[in-house]
């Protein structure tokens, strides 16, 4: 049912897969609930493969056009994703339009996902704008999170039911992956220092593994690692216990299928972390590194929310370069224990209201 709201969502692309991925899922969730959405983005190229068919109700607009907002009909709701600093011309148009129609305008700063305690304290707080073109308006800070006191996680209706209908064998065949019963592991990463240690561990394991490597930085990192290993010792994988499948760029829907098909998922950033959680499979998260090491605290807070066992915590610390040693050695995989952790975390999060439902209610309450 349409609510009459027009949402303007602004996103500057820092990581093509992360920021734009979250914003597109938010747009899709709003459109599926009958809302009208405009996504203003400075680089929409990733959507060509992430969501090639687009969606009814979602219009993608170049960021540059927002600086000529005098001729635009601005929306009822403005979302500034991840502090992207919307063009002052657009803010001025919002303020002018709000005064002209005497209707309250909702301006939301959508923050990054975190499990840290400050999220509950800060979620939903208003911040009156005192200066600049938006003077007189109020900005609200909206924090996604893992508890009922936060803004929740992105989760479309019917996601878990869709997973129950997924056929792994069919999906692997469609992607020409020669599955022979080995352990399947997806790899979506930056350039972890422990990557070579992971490859070495899998090659020397008693169970055969196949690494399904995503396009882009993960593929480049694996290729560089293999080139180095082959220079040192070409027989490093002499028992052929480790094989590789390199994937093309895939849609958001197909990325879910990849996660569902695998026995272990390596994910990075924010969007793939949430999708891995909903997949209910063991996963390891490579958190976005910050120069002041603030990501260390953020990672520990997440592991605490997950009630991660010691083996999973130790693996995360080495994978993220937090537990420094002279020689990087990854702890052993403990997939049965990690599987139980993943299912319990998914069950816990599924009891909470999803982000899109919460944010639409938030707008209704504050208008």
Q: Which residues are catalytic?
A: 19, 270
Cα dist. 58→34, 54, 169 in Å?
10, 7, 34
| Phi-psi group of 57: left, alpha or beta (phi > 0 → left; psi -120 to 50 → alpha; rest → beta) | left
Tell me the two tokens of residue 303. 């592991």
Rounded Cα gap, residues 202 and 219, in angstroms: 17
Other CB atoms within 10 A of residue 307 CB: 11
User: What does DSSP assign to residue 270?
Assistant: T
Residue 180's alpha-carbon distances to 177, 207, 209, 237, in angstroms, are 9, 12, 10, 18
R_g (Cα) of the chain, nearest Å? 22
Q: Whose CA is closest to 51, among 266, 219, 215, 255? A: 255
Which pair of structure tokens corresponds to residue 307? 């009630």
Q: How far apart are CA 30 and CA 224, in angstroms?
A: 41
208 contacts 183 by C-beta, under 8 angstroms: yes
* Tokens, residue 322: 């937090």
How far apart, in Å, are the Cα atoms of 183 and each of 167, 197, 209, 233, 333?
A: 16, 18, 4, 25, 12
- d(Cα 84, Cα 314) in Å, to the nearest integer? 34
| DSSP bridge pairs for 59 | 38
Cα torsion 53, 85, 95, 152 to 10°: value is: 60
Which residues, 6+ apart, have CB-to-CB distance to 48 below 8 Å?
none
| Count of beta carbons in the 10 Å neighbourhood of residue 170 | 11
Distance (Å, rounded) from C-alpha 257 to C-alpha 15?
22
How many helices and strands (H and E) does the chain possess?
14, 12
- 114 forms beta bridges with none
């Amino acid at each position: 049912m349409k609510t009459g709201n027009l949402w303007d969502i602004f996103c500057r692309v820092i990581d093509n897969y992360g920021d734009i991925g979250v914003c597109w899922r938010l747009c899709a969730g709003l459109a599926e609930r009958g809302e009208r959405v405009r996504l203003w983005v400075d680089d929409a190229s990733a959507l060509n493969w992430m969501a090639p068919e687009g969606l009814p109700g979602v219009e993608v607009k170049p960021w540059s056009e927002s600086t000529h907002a005098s001729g635009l009909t601005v929306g009822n709701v403005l979302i500034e994703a991840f502090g992207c600093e919307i063009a002052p011309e657009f803010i001025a148009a919002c303020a002018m339009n709000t005064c002209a129609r005497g209707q309250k305008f909702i301006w939301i700063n959508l923050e990054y996902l975190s499990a840290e305690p400050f999220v509950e304290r800060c979620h939903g707080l208003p911040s009156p704008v005192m200066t600049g073109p938006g003077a007189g308006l109020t900005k609200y800070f909206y924090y996604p999170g893992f508890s009922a006191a936060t803004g929740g996680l992105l989760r479309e209706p019917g996601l878990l039911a869709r997973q129950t209908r997924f056929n792994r064998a069919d999906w692997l065949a469609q992607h020409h992956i020669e599955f022979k019963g080995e352990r399947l592991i997806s790899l979506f990463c930056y350039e972890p220092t422990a990557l070579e240690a992971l490859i070495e561990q899998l090659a020397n394991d008693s169970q055969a593994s196949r690494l399904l490597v995503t396009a882009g930085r993960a593929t480049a990192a694996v290729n560089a690692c293999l080139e180095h290993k082959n220079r040192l010792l070409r027989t490093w994988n002499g028992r052929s216990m480790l094989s590789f499948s390199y994937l093309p760029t895939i849609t958001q829907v197909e990325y879910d299928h990849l996660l569902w098909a695998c026995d272990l998922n390596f994910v990075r950033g924010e969007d793939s972390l949430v999708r891995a959680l909903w997949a209910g499979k063991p996963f390891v998260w490579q958190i976005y590194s910050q120069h002041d090491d603030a990501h260390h605290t953020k990672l520990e807070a997440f592991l605490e929310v997950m009630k991660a066992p010691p083996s999973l915590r130790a693996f995360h610390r080495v994978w993220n370069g937090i537990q420094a040693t002279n020689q990087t050695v990854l702890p052993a995989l403990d997939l049965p224990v990690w599987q139980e952790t993943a299912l319990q975390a998914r069950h816990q999060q599924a009891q909470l209201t999803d982000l899109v439902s919460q944010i639409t209610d938030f707008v209704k309450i504050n208008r």
